[in-house]
Structure formats: structure tokens, C-alpha cells
A and B are shown apart, each in its own frame.
Chain A
Amino acid sequence: MPTPIPWLLALPALAGLSFLVLPLLGLLIRAPWSNAWQVITDDEALLALRLSLITATVAMVLAVLLGVPLAWLLARSDLPAMGWLRAVITVPLVLPPVVGGVALFTVLGRSGLLGWPLYQLTGFAFPFTPYAVVLAQTFVALPFLILSVEGALRAADRRYEDAAATLGARPLTIFSRVTLPLIGPGVAAGAVLAWARALGEFGATITFAGNFPGTTRTMPLQVYLALETDPSAALMLSVLLLAVSVLVLVLLRDRWVNRW
């Protein structure tokens, strides 16, 4: 039997939905559909889209590899400074991304704390390379994954882990065989959030990675540049980015829902 929806919930829910959907609708209405094909088959736009999809996916994988263990630490260990650690981890969420980009320079730039010795030894510097795009995206996307996975870990029933431990399983086995399958949907949701955030990343990327077609100009940077000269093309490019991301998310969601 369907749950009846109380109007006290329905009204704000509807308002919230309109608030999110109407601007997107406005974008769709204003977009110049007559030259849509020309805008979205433009070489530079496709180059930017390809770079965005690759870098955002690599950033998501990095975020999962680094973020899941960190989330486990936050949720399962009882070290005294955990409150502080959690606050530090959420900093990239409140930091204006442009400032995040400058912060990345101070560590990984060619005169940064770690970047300088690297540059002196190898002649390689991160800024103005696709690696810098991935780093910038991972920096801003990681907190989303950590918070999402930590929530899943806290909500998971710990008795399964306890049972595995009493049966003699080692901690790493418990983590990979019991905990990880339990929090699968949480990891998936976090990964999707991280991917989406990486795909839309602008400020840290344009600061730390620069802006060059094919190497560092992702779709949001392409849209920003188009706004300077051809605002209607910028709208069309935004629609393209939205369409591709929604398509990917819907396809992935179906997979994950079937699996878990």
C-alpha cells in the first residue's frame, strides 16, 4: 500500500524540487537548439568533454582508493583527535575552489613544498598537465566520498563484523569480506557524488591546472570561456555536459540498484 504523503512534507518537497529543476529548465529553454549540432560537434568542445570524462573518472577512482580507508578510520577507530580530523577533512567543502587551487600550488606547484624537489630532480611539474586536473578534482571530490562512506559505515550493523572476528577472521579480511559488501551502496553513492563534483569542478582546476585545449581545458572551463564571447554557445555546452552526466548516472544507477 502506498504511504499517504502529508501536505506539510509535500509542499516544501515540491518547492525544493522546483528550486532545483526550474533553473535547469530555463537553461534548456534558452539554449539555442537551432545550432545545437554545430556547437556540440565542435572539435574543441568534444576535446573538452573527452578530457572531462577521463579526468573525472580517474579522480573518482582515486577518491575511492584514498577515501574508503580514511572513512573507515574515521568511523571505526577511537583516536582522541577524530573530531579535529573530521573537521579538517571537510575543509575542501567550504574552501572556495580557487583558494584550493592556490593551496595545491603551495604543495605541488613547481616551487611548492613537494613540487620543488620533484621539479629539481626530474624536471617535471604538475601544473598545466592533465595530472593537475585530476589532482584538483580529487581534492574537491574526496570529502564527498568520505562523508558518504563514513555515514554508511556508522549505519552498518557491526554485529556481522563482530561475528566474523569471533570466527577468527583477521581485520583486513573482515574489512574486505564483510564491511565492504555491507557498505557497497554507500560507496557507490559516494563515488557518484565524487564523480559529479569532479565533472563540474572549475575553480581549483583553472587555478592549479591552467586552461589549454586538449590538456587542461575541461568542459566547465570551455563553458566559462564561451561565456566571454558566445553566451548562447555556452548554454548549449552546459546542456551537453548535463545530458552526458545525467545519462551516465542513470545507466550506472540501474546497474547498482540491480546489484545491491
Chain B
Amino acid sequence: MLKDITLGQFFPGESIVHRLDPRTKILLTILYIAALFVATGVVAYAIMLAVLVVCVALTRIRVQSIVKGLKPVVIIILFTAILNIFFTAGETVLIQFWKITITREGVVRAAYMILRIVMLITGTLLLTYTTSPIALTDAIERLLSPLKALRIPVHEFAMMMSLALRFIPTLIEETDKIMSAQKARGADFESGGLIRKARAMLPLLVPLFISAFRRADELAVAMESRCYHGDKGRTRMKQLHMAARDWIALLLGLALLGGMIVLRVFGI
């Protein structure tokens, strides 16, 4: 059933990574990605990989889940690999047939590229696997709150995001119901070419849209009835606290980035 899909898959847990403040995790992910782009050379990549493996182990999430998360990117990885293997000019030629030249440099370059993409995606997966969507939205709102001084509607944006997240399962359920009802009148969502299928979507999309507007209206009235009046004077029940482990983790992240910069500068 459609209802069983969870977006941005979150695996609840009690590992130290889970217990980090979500803001820490977002910043660490940014630091890691920055470090990835700075890193050059075998030593650097080995360190980055080691760090990643340690983090994955710390989260106690099953490796199969990580691999599953990488599946959508397999095509990109393959494409990048092929581009680099076949089209890199270099000195040491390994294989040559027809017009195609495979150089050692090409293979090496491809290997680095693949590793980088895998580490990038895995690093991001670790973030979404260990942090619930609400925690993420909360963290983003608080990290961006200094921008409120610049009249940027950070609170409104965060409210929209958390409402959207809240309603995803409800809307999926409703889509299910509308589809069943239209199928019961002979609607066919499967057969036909692209245009036919698009037109067949009308009996599904129109009721969904209308219903979404009605929901929004009722929800707004319910929110106002509960004294919602924007950000002014609003407090939060759940407070985010930076504990010692958060600061240590951030320091380590900065150290990693610093280390990559040093390695690159000194050509190691």
C-alpha cells in the first residue's frame, strides 16, 4: 500500500550519533562535504573513508540500508565512471582498441570520482537516517534564525515545511482512496502512452487539489483558534541543547576539514 512509504527514511535509535543535536549533525555533514571537495590524494581519501566507516559503525544502522540508499545513484556513478575511464588523456595506456583508449590515469581518476560520490551520498544518508524530519526542520529553523533580522521569513518557511511533512502520510492515504473510488468507476491509470496516462490523472489530481485547499482552510481556522499569530512571542516546548559531545564532534569535524586543507597544501 502507498501508505507504507516513509520519505527521507528515518531509523530511530539510541546511538551516540542519534543523540547528537540535529544542528550539530547538519553542520558536521556540511563540514564533511566541504572536506570531501578539498581532499586530494590517497592519504586524504583513506582518512575520509576511515572517518565515514567509523561514523556508520557508530550509528549501528545495517549496511544493507546504506547500500539500498545508494541504489538510486548507481546510474550516476556508472556514468561518471565510464566518462572518466574512456575519456581521460594520460601516459600509461592499458588497453587500446578501435578509437577507445583506456589509460591508467583514467582508471585512477574514475576510482576517485566513484569514491567521492559514494562518500558524499553516504554522508548525507547518515544525516537523514539518524535525524527525524521534524528534528531536521527544527534545526534548520534555529540555524537560520539570525536571518530573521534581515526580514527573511524563516519561521514561516519552517512552519510550511513541518506542516507539509505532517500531511504527507495523510495525502498519500487520500490519494489511495481517490484512486480506488475512480477505479471503481472504470478509471484506468495503467494503460496507454504518456499523454493518455497524463489525462487519466485528472480524476485523481483535481479531487486531491480541491481537498488540499479545503484542508488548508480548515487547518488555518483551527490554528488561529489555538492562538497562532506567527512567530511573535512564540516559545517551544522542545528545546535543543548543545552538550559536550556536540562541541567535541564539531571540533573533530573542523579538524577534519583543516586536516584535508593541510594535506592538500603540502601535496601529500
Partners in one complex: no
